[in-house]
Amino acid sequence: MDIALVTHTGDPTHGADPGPGAGDVASPVEAAGGGADGAGATGGGADRAGATDGGEDRAEADRMAVAGRDDRSLVSALVSRDVRVHRPAWDDPDVEWATFDLVVLRATGDDPGRRDELVAWAERVGATTRLRNPADVIRWNSHRSYLLELEERGAPVVPTAWLGRGDAIDLAELLAARGWHDAVIRPAVPGLGHEPMRVRVDAGGGPAATVLAAATAGAIDLAADLPAGQHHLDALLAVDDVLVQPFLASGAEEGELSVVLFGGQVSHAVRRRPTDRDRRVAEPIDTEVAALAHWVVEATGVADLLLARVDLLTDSSGTWQLVALNATAPALFLAADPLAAERAADALVAEVGG
């Protein structure tokens, strides 16, 4: 059985030794007759990608560390099941994708301008072999308009003002109309150069670059003033659709709760606290959270959603709100649960029919 855990040519794990216990791991050269090593960060659609004043480097190191831990443990678990694991890059033109029994996208890169290229790749690969998650999921999930669809189906999505590319929006008027004094501006397609920004009506006017760097580090603990927020909103709307949402204090105080699912079944949950971005704390999953995460995945209508992560926050009343459903190349935080990699490997092998 040959399974490809797909990264991108800018990821240092492309062509690298996945780590102790990897055993029978095919290199991209062996798997595809070519390939190149590179330097850079793994993707996964995180909206903490990219920044200025050193924030980009911090975010890259963070994502690389998470992806490295995820895939090292997953590779080891797969090899123990007699799987040949490959690490090709999705943007390597020399890969023969039909030679794999299963292709699993694990990292995409941070360039939002390559989204169409990624989707086109997924469509080609899905036509020749089993790709998870499928191309239609990658297309749907790589633009945050999926949240609007889930909201229409009943998901408790964080209240959102949906703005279209090219719209001329007065941020002060928008926030006043919504009754929001503290908000977050998010691009619909996250990535390098498309960072979120927190803006507060009564902010003292800190430098926008400093605010962006803080957001990139995973802790949106600084807020821009309205002029800086307006400038950032205008820049994003010139190239992308945009979401504006109220800032939820629980995100800064408690952190997001990420629930990871394999094959639609809840595996584990991790608390990601912004004050300690390198630490993911495993948390028990209560029935309410498990049911909500399962419902969100079911609401996609996709029967073959192999890997998914549901990110949640609570609002001021303590009600769970959906922040994101990550189903393109989700970070799985396998290191937080000693059995998570085993469950993930079982799901991948079962997908092939082994």
| Residues in CB range of 93: below 8 A, 6 or more apart | none
* Superfamily of chain region 145-157+251-337: ATP-grasp fold, B domain (3.30.470.20)
Measured CA to CA, the distance from residue 263 to residue 346 in angstroms comes to 10
* Token digits of residue 290: 């498990």
**Rounded to the nearest 10 degrees, what angle do helices 226-237 and 171-178 cross at?**
110
pLDDT tens for 124-159 read 999 999 999 999 999 999 999 999 999 999 999 999
Instruction: Please state the length of the chain.
Output: 354
> In this predicted structure, what is the pLDDT of residue 69?
65
DSSP state of 50: -
Say if CB 86 and CB 100 are below 8 A apart.
yes
pLDDT tens for 33-50 read 333 222 223 333 333 332
pLDDT tens for 70-115 read 688 999 999 999 999 999 999 999 999 999 999 999 988 766 678 8
Tally Cβ neighbours within 10 Å of residue 291.
Answer: 12
- In single-letter form, the type of residue at position 299 comes to A
The predicted model scores a pTM of 0.79
| Burial tier of 201 (Cβ tally within 10 Å: 0-12, 13-18, 19+) | middle
Domain ranges of the chain: 2-141, 145-157+251-337, 161-247
2-141: CATH topology is Rossmann fold (3.40.50)
Domains 2-141 and 145-157+251-337 share a fold: no
Q: Which residues of the chain have pLDDT under 70?
A: 9-70, 110-112, 191-194, 203-222, 251-253, 274-280, 354
